[in-house]
Amino acid sequence: MARSRRFPNPIRLLILYIGLGLARLGLIDAERARRTTDLAWPRIVTGLARMSKSAVDVAMVGIAVGSAGITGVGFASPYWGLAFAIGGGIAGGTIALVSQRYGAEAFGELGQAVRSSAFLVVVLTLPMTAAFWLFPTEFISLISDNPDTIREGAAYLQVVGLGIPFAGLNLVGSRIFVGLDDAWTPMMFRASGAVANIVLNAILIFGLGYGVVGAALGTVLSNVMIALGFAIALVAGRFPGVGTLPIQIDPRGTYVDEATIRDLISIGVPVMARGLVWTLAEFPMLGIVDIFGEDIASSYIVARRIWGLMNTPGWGFGLAASSLVGQELGSGDEATAEDYGREIIRFAVAVYLVSGAIVLVFAEPITLAFVDDPNDLSVPVAISLVYAACFAIALKGVSGGAAGALEASGDTRWTFYSQALGMFGCSIPIAYIGATTQLGVMGLYLAFVAETAVPAAINYYRFSTGKWKAISRSYRPEVADD
């Protein structure tokens, strides 16, 4: 039973009503809809809090600094995204190992998976922190030759890079609890951290006048707070306001366990590579957007922030699929695991359709919240980009839901292939054609669609083959113990 609290949260109720509506149509099982909702909604709330924080960052910087600040922060974001690509990769291995061991009741192995995951994240992210502190201007200069953008972006990157190891650890901490059917605890930590981040940013940007450096410093401090919360909770087995947790980790145990690290790398590297595909793809994409000029570039960055808000259902449904499918695989019930995977995909698509329709109706006022001049010539472009995002986002339900099921089994290579082909084979070339031909901004609209359509088709095809069930057998705890 999921440990998420069944409060009358409006987001939970909306998702549950959609799920029960699908159940009445015979598309999903009602009980599985409830269990999926209990795991998904806290993660969606966490995602909304985090992406709202990111959106507020851009809005605050835009008001305080202007377009140069928006583009500077936007051009530094792919480097910050490396933390989520690397941390998310290791966390993908973590949730697979934890959920399968939880389903098999192999509780003695959980601590090792947690410690080894934390070790890998720190080892992989510290070099990035050092590089961004020493060479921030050089990194931003790879994307843009606009001196104002380079100045603001370098100032932001140098400071925000200090938070990268903590951001990676927070991803691992979140996946640990979701793998244990507990989506409530990470929601409390990460959503609270996101709120603290917004407050800190307001003080640092406007109160102290630190500009983009204030936005970066707020991000670092909030991530440190969240990481400390996760560490205390996991070691103590309890936390004020959260209560007793389902596990307690001994920090004095082994961190470098060869078998566990091998499994984490085997599962996590393709997940990491998939995350890196989008992060690395942002560099040429932003370089292409820069060709359009500063106004279009800032419009694109605003649209991407709104896209991030619309994409938060995928965070919940992807992790719900990873946890629930993984638990059924761990118990040996492959048929139910497949049922969960297929139904979560349908459920996710329905929720995306609803959320996309809501944003479509309110696209203009949402976009205007990011600018201080409603007559800015870039506003109509940003609104049009949001319309394109609303159309393309529903396909994320297919790609994200299928990817969650595949990652639960350890079959993570295809999700990497699909993301790579979607971005480098379709989305980026289309955007480049738009920047260099009469296709113009239409290329950016089509790039949004290509970014989601290709992974949706490939991930669902792989899921439909059922080969992931056989792959999962090599990662189950009874195999690891032999």
pLDDT of 345 reads 92
Average pLDDT (132-142) is 90
Mean pLDDT check: name the lowest of 33-37, 236-240, 371-375: 371-375
Task: Output the pTM of the full model.
Answer: 0.68
Per-residue pLDDT for 372 more than 70?
no
Q: Which residues contact 125 (CB under 8 A, 6 or more apart)?
A: 83, 86, 87, 164, 165, 168
Produce one character per residue of 159-195: b if its CB has 16 or more CB atoms within 10 Å, e if not: bbbbbbbbbbbbbbbbbbbbbbbbbbbbbbbbbbbbe
Residue 169 has pLDDT above 70, yes or no: yes
For 404-445, give the DSSP string. HHHHHHT--HHHHHHHHIIIIIIIHHHHHHHHHSTTTTHHHH
What is the CA angle 6-107-250, rounded to 5? 100
Q: Give the distance from CA 57 to its chain's centroid.
A: 17
More confident residue, 31 or 52: 31
pLDDT tens-place string over residues 265-315: 887 777 777 777 767 777 788 888 888 877 788 788 888 878 888 888 887
Cα 179–185–190 angle (5° rounding)? 105
Whole-number CA gyration radius for the chain: 21
Instruction: Quote the tokens at residue 422.
Output: 């979607």
Per cent of the chain over pLDDT 70 is: 87
Convert the pLDDT of each residue in 401-448 to its tens digit.
Answer: 888 888 878 787 888 889 889 988 999 999 999 989 889 889 988 998
In the chain, domain spans: 10-480
Top-confidence residue, 335 or 369: 335
**For residue 462, what pLDDT band results from cuts at 50, 70 and 90?**
very high
Q: d(Cα 400, Cα 412) in Å, to the nearest integer?
A: 12
pLDDT of residue 241: 66
Mean pLDDT of the chain: 82
Across residues 185-212, what is the average pLDDT? 82
E strand or H helix at 100, and its extent? helix 67-103
Contact 155, 205 (CB under 8 A): no
Q: What is the DSSP string of 62-83?
A: HHHT-HHHHHHHHHHHHHHHHH
